[in-house]
């Protein structure tokens, strides 16, 4: 087993300071309570008191003592020195001069804090046995467990080698138990997995590892045959009851991802254990694969039948409309009030053939409102018969109370297999809903086996998806309650599980331990409170019943220090004299004034341009009034341009600025 699995970061932070602790960590691990201060006060000299206090916090924070107890961040030294009232934290350098004093202090601190030497290994062994974590993750878990249990951390090399040794022992124990669970005949069959499958170039192991890749009736038959073959190699769950399922799963995953040639080169014990785990896990996976194919196949059958039914309905809509219109035309004439009974009777006699044809067409083409295109499903009955007998023969279904009708119908259909003339008169009808009933059991006719089979299959498909019907030893289609340990199986694995979680096997012992810790915490908290300020008294509640109530008296007023008063005075002097409301009002008025100026600017620009335009237009109007039309037509072109161009330009420019102002909504 390799021992150099730790990262550089894990090695650096194990039992060492990595930077300055946070304020929360200082308050949690380096706060000295009354008992700590009493013990520290027995030391002579500031350097010994400070070094003793730093070692207490170091043990709580790191779970171990440092080889150099003064090699700690300065923030820790300053925090401890402030609690002890030591003015010169640098005196701790004198504490490192005498090694014997450090060792004596460490022994006394260990007894005071309740830390134990590292010797407990059963908890780590139980964790490795039931789990599949990587060595680096186990290292972090072991470190956290040791800190929680107040066990001194061993050296990093000691812990890494211990984890590697335990993992090796667990692996050997696993291989031994798995290989001992098979008989000589089963061992021979398992070895045959590493041989080639007939004339093929692949081995039987590689062939069985291939899962179905598509959904069809032949593929489902092959998947069921694969499940049957794997079950013949499986040793069964009862023989592996004392082996954790997680270990079997991890070993099976190795067999799935490794070449058969590599597995053949393993030792006999490890090779047999790997193949046993592979067949045990594959028996579960192959059953799930078969049900996955069934699920996809049923959805495909229902979807195709619905699609075919809709297409057929679209093709017959023209005939259905013609028949409906024909009946509507005849009915319209029949209900005419002017006709006598004799005329109606004569008319219906004449149209009897047409009415009969239309009614027959409507009955043939029209579908009920709750029709689900079940008639198209029956066309695929031959496809279902290819896999349905193998499905009933291979997979054993179980159910809860809601799935019992489906299970009863499946048992009835299983008993019908092999009968030449099956009698369906005793078929369970609780599984047949109203939408299927007119097809399964038409009025006055016997039960149709095809429709009944499809009905049971559809109900089975729905029940499997709801987990009302399930199979044993399944990951995706099993009973959700099966993963909860109960009864004899729980009692068997209970000590191992509790030990791996650091809990006691008996609930009374665990509750007693929690009660003891709660009582100690309560007494320690009560001892730190000033007695006159905190007390418990009997106080009547709203119902008039006296009950214990925690009473907290008000705290004494603390005078403000001179520095706080000076700070408040300086802040007040720097605040502006104008209130925020006045400042806001002034800014609002300034903004309104600017908006008015903008509006006036866009209003005056068109006005300024309209004035010269009107002035230049005046001569043109005078000519129109006092000069004849012939004289105006005789004017040369340059003179006409000189008379009309200035006024036209001014008016166009004014219009441009006016409409521009309207567009921006700034013109009044």
Q: What is the pLDDT of residue 666?
A: 45
The residues facing 477 across adjacent strands are none
pLDDT higher for 664 or 292? Answer: 292
> How far apart are the C-alpha atoms of 413 and 417, rounded to whole Å?
7
> How far apart are the C-alpha atoms of 545 and 360, rounded to whole Å?
84
Q: Kindly tell me the burial class for residue 574, based on how many C-beta atoms sit within 10 Å of its own C-beta (0-12, 13-18, 19 or more).
A: exposed
Q: Is residue 209 in a domain?
A: no
Residues 471 and 495 in one domain: no
pLDDT tier at 665, thresholds 50, 70, 90: very low
pLDDT average, residue stretch 615-639? 60
Residues 517 and 472 in one domain: no
Q: What is the pLDDT of residue 667?
A: 42
- Tell which of 115, 135, 170 closes a domain: 115
pLDDT tier at 410, thresholds 50, 70, 90: very high
Q: Kindly tell me the burial class for residue 95, based on how many C-beta atoms sit within 10 Å of its own C-beta (0-12, 13-18, 19 or more).
A: buried
Nearest to 58 by CA among 97, 86, 23, 16: 16
What is the per-residue pLDDT across 465-482, written as a single tens digit (0 to 9) for each?
A: 999 999 988 888 988 777
Residues 468 and 505 in one domain: no
What is the per-residue pLDDT across 355-367, written as a single tens digit (0 to 9) for each?
A: 888 888 887 777 7
What is the per-residue pLDDT across 305-351, written as a single tens digit (0 to 9) for each?
A: 878 777 777 777 788 788 888 888 888 878 877 787 888 888 888 88
546's enclosing H/E stretch is: strand 546-552
Residues 430 and 509 in one domain: no
Q: What is the DSSP letter of 203?
A: B
Q: Which domain holds residue 446?
A: 396-484
Give whichever of 146-155, 485-494, 589-598, 603-612 has the largest mean pLDDT.
146-155
Residues 503 and 600 in one domain: no
What is the per-residue pLDDT across 415-456, written as a single tens digit (0 to 9) for each?
A: 988 888 888 888 999 998 888 888 888 888 888 888 899 899
Q: Is residue 465 in a domain?
A: yes
pLDDT average, residue stretch 593-617? 58
Residues 477 and 416 in one domain: yes
- Tell which of 95, 115, 135 closes a domain: 115
What is the per-residue pLDDT across 87-120, written as a single tens digit (0 to 9) for each?
A: 888 888 888 777 888 888 888 998 888 888 887 6
Phi first, then psi, for residue 298 (nearest 5°) are -65, -40
Distance from the first to the final alpha carbon of the chain: 90
Q: Is residue 513 in a domain?
A: yes
Which two three-digit tokens encode residue 502?
């650091």
Nearest to 186 by CA among 228, 252, 231: 231
Residues 603 and 647 in one domain: yes
Phi first, then psi, for residue 503 (nearest 5°) are -115, 160
Phi first, then psi, for residue 374 (nearest 5°) are -70, -25
pLDDT tier at 668, thresholds 50, 70, 90: very low
Residues 6 and 107 in one domain: yes
Residues 477 and 509 in one domain: no
Helical packing angle, 245-257 and 122-130, nearest 10°: 50
Number of H helices, E strands in the chain: 28, 4
Q: Is residue 285 in a domain?
A: no
pLDDT average, residue stretch 244-259? 88
> How far apart are the C-alpha atoms of 299 and 314, rounded to whole Å?
23
Residues 479 and 499 in one domain: no
pLDDT average, residue stretch 398-406? 91
Q: What is the DSSP letter of 96?
A: G
Q: Is residue 13 in a domain?
A: yes
Which two three-digit tokens encode residue 103?
């060792």
pLDDT value at 530 more than 70: no
Handedness of CA 158, 163, 168, 174 (dihedral sign): positive
Q: Is residue 424 in a domain?
A: yes
Number of domains observed in the structure of the chain = 4
- Tell which of 115, 150, 174 closes a domain: 115
Residues 21 and 90 in one domain: yes
Q: Is residue 534 in a domain?
A: no
pTM of the model: 0.61
Q: Kindly tell me the burial class for residue 341, based on how many C-beta atoms sit within 10 Å of its own C-beta (0-12, 13-18, 19 or more).
A: exposed
Q: Is residue 125 in a domain?
A: no
Residues 101 and 2 in one domain: yes
């Amino acid at each position: 087993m390799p021992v150099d699995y730790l990262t550089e970061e894990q090695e650096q932070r194990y039992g060492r300071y990595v930077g300055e602790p946070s304020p929360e960590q200082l308050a949690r691990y380096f706060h000295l309570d009354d008992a700590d201060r009493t013990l520290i006060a027995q030391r002579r000299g500031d350097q010994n008191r400070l070094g003793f206090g730093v070692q207490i916090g170091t043990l709580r924070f790191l779970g171990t003592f440092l080889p150099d107890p003064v090699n700690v961040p300065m923030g820790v030294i300053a925090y401890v020195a402030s609690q002890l009232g030591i003015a010169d934290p640098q005196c701790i350098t004198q504490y490192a001069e005498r090694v014997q004093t450090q060792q004596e202090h460490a022994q006394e601190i260990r007894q005071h804090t309740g830390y134990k030497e590292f010797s407990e290994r059963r908890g780590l062994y139980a964790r490795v046995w039931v789990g599949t974590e990587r060595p680096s993750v186990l290292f972090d878990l072991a470190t956290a467990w040791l800190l929680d249990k107040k066990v001194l951390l061993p050296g990093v090399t000691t812990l890494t080698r211990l984890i590697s040794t335990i993992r090796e022992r667990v692996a050997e124990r696993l291989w031994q138990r798995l290989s001992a669970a098979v008989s000589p005949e089963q061992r021979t069959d398992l070895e045959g997995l590493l041989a080639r499958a007939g004339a093929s170039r692949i081995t039987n192991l590689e062939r069985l590892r291939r899962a179905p890749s598509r959904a069809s009736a032949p593929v489902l038959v092959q998947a069921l045959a694969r499940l049957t073959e794997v079950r013949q190699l499986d040793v069964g769950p009862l023989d592996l009851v004392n082996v954790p399922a997680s270990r079997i799963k991890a070993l099976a995953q190795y067999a799935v991802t490794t070449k058969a040639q590599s597995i053949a080169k393993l030792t006999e014990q490890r090779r047999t254990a790997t193949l046993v785990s592979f067949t045990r896990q594959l028996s579960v996976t192959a059953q799930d694969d078969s049900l996955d194919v069934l699920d996809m196949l049923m959805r495909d059958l229902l979807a195709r039948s619905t699609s075919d039914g809709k297409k057929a309905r679209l093709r017959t809509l023209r005939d259905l409309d013609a028949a409906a219109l024909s009946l509507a035309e005849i009915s319209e004439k029949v209900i005419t009030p002017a006709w006598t009974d004799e005329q109606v009777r004569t008319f219906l006699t004449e149209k009897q053939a047409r009415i009969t044809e239309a009614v027959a067409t409507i009955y043939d083409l029209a579908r009920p409102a709750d029709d689900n295109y079940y008639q198209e499903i029956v066309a695929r009955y031959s496809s279902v018969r290819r896999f349905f007998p193998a499905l009933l023969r291979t997979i054993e279904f179980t159910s809860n109370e809601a799935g019992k009708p489906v299970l009863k119908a499946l048992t009835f259909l299983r008993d019908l297999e092999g009968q030449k003339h099956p009698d369906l008169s005793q078929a369970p009808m609780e599984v047949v809903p109203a939408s299927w009933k007119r097809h399964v059991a038409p009025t006055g006719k016997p039960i149709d086996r095809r429709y009944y089979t499809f009905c049971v299959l559809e109900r089975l498909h729905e029940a499997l998806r709801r987990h009302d019907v399930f199979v044993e030893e399944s990951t995706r289609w099993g009973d959700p309650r099966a993963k909860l340990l109960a009864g004899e199986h729980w009692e068997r694995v209970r000590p191992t599980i509790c030990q791996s979680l650091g809990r006691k096997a008996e609930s009374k012992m665990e509750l007693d331990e929690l009660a003891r810790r709660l009582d100690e915490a309560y007494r320690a908290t009560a001892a730190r409170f000033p007695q006159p300020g905190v007390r418990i008294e009997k106080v009547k509640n709203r119902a008039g019943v006296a009950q214990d109530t925690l009473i907290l008296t008000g705290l004494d007023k603390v005078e403000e220090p001179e520095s706080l008063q000076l700070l408040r005075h300086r802040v007040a002097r720097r605040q502006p004299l104008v209130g925020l409301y006045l400042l806001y009002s002034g800014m609002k008025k300034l903004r309104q004034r600017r908006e008015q100026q903008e509006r006036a600017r866009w209003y005056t620009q068109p006005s300024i341009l309209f004035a010269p335009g009107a002035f230049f237009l005046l001569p043109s109007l005078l000519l129109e009034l006092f000069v004849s039309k012939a004289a105006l037509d005789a004017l040369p072109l340059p003179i006409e341009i000189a008379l009309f161009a200035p006024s036209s330009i001014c008016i166009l420019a004014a219009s441009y600025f006016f409409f521009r102002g309207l567009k921006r909504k700034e013109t009044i």
